[in-house]
Chain A
């Protein structure tokens, strides 16, 4: 590769693991290796550290330690919350409410449950990607057992009115699950105050390791076990614990909540500079998502007359990592269901770019992007027959 520059602006996809987090994890590979279920001191000293991690997670979201269950990540937590509560409450009803802009871990799980005889209402969103509380209220029937709505959207950053929906769910006696994978570490969460019954989170979105996450389950929520086997996680999620991962998750969430305000303020500043620079310098551009109620690190754009694919690859060849729509792991891009749901026509949804900022990004990074992005967009537009017509 000709370029030496490497600028990472895809923190919504994943983050690096913080050095401090890694340091805390390392002894649990080599020095503290006992099985936490064992009664001897090798086991006990590890078990103690799992408890510490559980307390840290609980504290960060206002839950009790015994309400935290470790999982292999966000998708597992979503699957467990939705399938587990659906099956456990089947006698009560078979109706689930969700939205059209959920992550596939939620959408595909709901689609699976439809095949299993459940009924699912997929609520629309407005042009900012916001679900209406009234729509939720109107969708509720006497068969509704679960409302599952994401805390903040991974593509466009819009933050949902979680507290209002939680209040509504509580009033109606319906379980409320939120996929907070993008939100934890970026917004203040208090599951009790917000009436959240279940919440999914994933460590690698806030400078923790990959392959570890957690599901918060309020005491009293009926949920079937996810993996059957040993007595780990109070018998609800069997399998010897991913101890280094759990320790890393605990440390990462503690660090993230400790400096939340400071980090949000700094990243919001960078993000606003980026958004402003793009909107001022590139015509025919729109900012996706809610102008204010959005994640601090999220900048999502649509550039008319070009394809996001070519844009992303050009950025990559110049060392800048971004993403377009929801990239499939093959790297191939279809217009994102989220962008279509907020009412963007197919051809415009194709020209999307998400830049998600993180701790390592600097003013100089933003300046570099603001320097190369207008050039790339202009080059691609010069090649577009549609743009020719616009210019007349």
Chain B
């Protein structure tokens, strides 16, 4: 009996080629586009014609037709709204900067979709992520390793997957470069071969998250004061959701010297500004830790850590902390450690784990 795999298809080139590779390997492949979001704005409705003409789903459907595999669109709007959008919005109001892709992977792709896949008797869920999943017989654990193409590596957004999730996930593009992926798509004459990269936040079409938050919870956005570290008022801000740690541009005040956002204080509705040196710090506390090679961190480990998706890896030491938290101490001060973002640990090419940044120290 062939193993069955449900592959999440975004309509892009990566998941299309991933589906092809799985089919080549002999899996019984089912393509699924997750309908997760629909712009409720009238203009979007006029342009897209509503829920029936999702162009992403149409592209995925054409790819599945040419690969001769079944294709379905599944409705994940409710779970996406609850676990990704609501979280995304709430984090900003809590003065944090969320990473919706991480939440989507954990709760939608590798939970809700995995459950629907199991309902179709599938053994695995697959995606077009650039990452490798391996099984380590010695420890009996599933490990995640960076992709062959380091520039495209997407392990950062996978750090919080559990062992039980990893057991049921396939990522066939881990050994390919983006160029190789496109080359395969061209050889197969797939319609999506030249499709450009997708944008950062898929549900904020114009990338204007301030507009998005105003539309959803405009009444909760209140102007307040910019203050310095001592609490002196420096001017008025437009609402804390508009700012992120390390930001310099768009503050809308002139103080005669470059000022940076150092901290957001949602309880007092304050934005703390300071000079650039105040944006750096050498340690942080992270929460909701997840590790690949072991269940719990028992002893300090030396690793390289990334404090956001685009950050460079930095030498650091991770210490067990109360509950499921960790303290991360960097060898060199890091710029703009941002609560809400993930700190992710690496040992060479191996993803060690990570957690959500709670605060900087």
Contact = CB atoms under 8 A, between A and B. Distances in A.
Interface stretch (B49-57, B103-111, B345-353): B49-57
Contacts of B75: 309, 332-334
Given A2-B2, A314-B119, A317-B120, A332 B70 contact: no
Given A330-B54, A334-B75, A314 B120 contact: yes
B128 to A, nearest CB: 21
B52 A310 contact: no
Contacts of B30: 317
Nearest to B30: A317
Q: Dominant SS at the B interface?
A: mixed
Interface residues of B, number: 21
A380 interface: yes
Given A2-B2, A313-B120, A330-B51, A383 B73 contact: no
Contact of A332 (B28, B51, B116, B118): B51
B180 interface: no
Contacts of B57: 330-332
Contacts of A313: 72, 74, 119-120
A3 to B, nearest CB: 11
Interface in A362-392: 379-380, 383
B51 A331 contact: no
Interface string A21-49: 00000000000000000000000000000
A332 B2 contact: no
A329 interface: yes
Given A2-B2, A333-B75, A328 B51 contact: yes
A317 B70 contact: yes
B115 interface: yes
Contacts of B28: 2
Interface residues of A, number: 18
A4 interface: no
A1 to B, nearest CB: 7
A316 interface: yes
Contacts of A328: 51-52
- Greatest chain A CB density within 10 A among B2, B115, B120 is at B120
A330 B32 CA distance: 12
Interface of A is mostly: loop
A316 B71 CA distance: 11
Interface in A309-330: 309-310, 313-314, 316-317, 328-330
B281 interface: no
Interface in B52-89: 52-54, 57, 70, 72-75, 77
Contacts of A383: 115, 118-119
Nearest to A335: B75
A333 B77 CA distance: 10
B116 A310 contact: yes
A328 B75 CA distance: 11
A228 to B, nearest CB: 24
Contact of B52 (A1, A329, A379): A329
Nearest to A2: B28
B165 interface: no
Given A328-B51, A330-B54, A380 B72 contact: no
With a 10 A CB-CB cut-off, give which of A328, A329, A332, A379 has the most chain B CB atoms.
Answer: A332
Interface in A290-324: 309-310, 313-314, 316-317
B51 A310 contact: no
A315 B115 CA distance: 17
A161 B70 CA distance: 42
A331 B120 CA distance: 16
Contacts of A332: 35, 51, 57, 73-75
Contacts of A2: 2, 28
A310 B6 CA distance: 13
A331 B75 CA distance: 9
Contacts of B70: 1, 316-317
Considering residues A2, A310, A333, A380, which has the most beta carbons from chain B within 10 angstroms of its beta carbon?
A: A310
Contact of B119 (A316, A329, A333, A380): A380
Nearest to A328: B52
Contact of B72 (A329, A331, A334, A379): A331
A332 B75 CA distance: 5
B77 to A, nearest CB: 8
A314 B4 CA distance: 13
A317 B71 CA distance: 11
Which of B53, B70, B74, B118 lies at the interface centre, i.e. has the most chain A CB atoms within 10 A of its CB?
B74
B118 to A, nearest CB: 7
Nearest to A383: B119
A331 B115 contact: no
A309 B51 contact: no
Q: Which of B53, B57, B73, B121: most chain A Cβ within 10 A?
A: B73
Give 4 nearest A-B pairs by CB, closest first. Answer: A310-B119, A331-B73, A329-B52, A332-B35
10 contacts: A1-B70, A2-B2, A313-B119, A316-B70, A328-B51, A330-B51, A330-B53, A330-B73, A332-B74, A333-B75
Given A313-B72, A313-B120, A330-B35, 19 more contacts: A309-B74, A309-B116, A316-B70, A316-B72, A317-B120, A328-B51, A328-B52, A329-B52, A330-B54, A330-B57, A330-B73, A331-B72, A331-B73, A332-B35, A332-B57, A332-B73, A332-B74, A334-B75, A383-B118
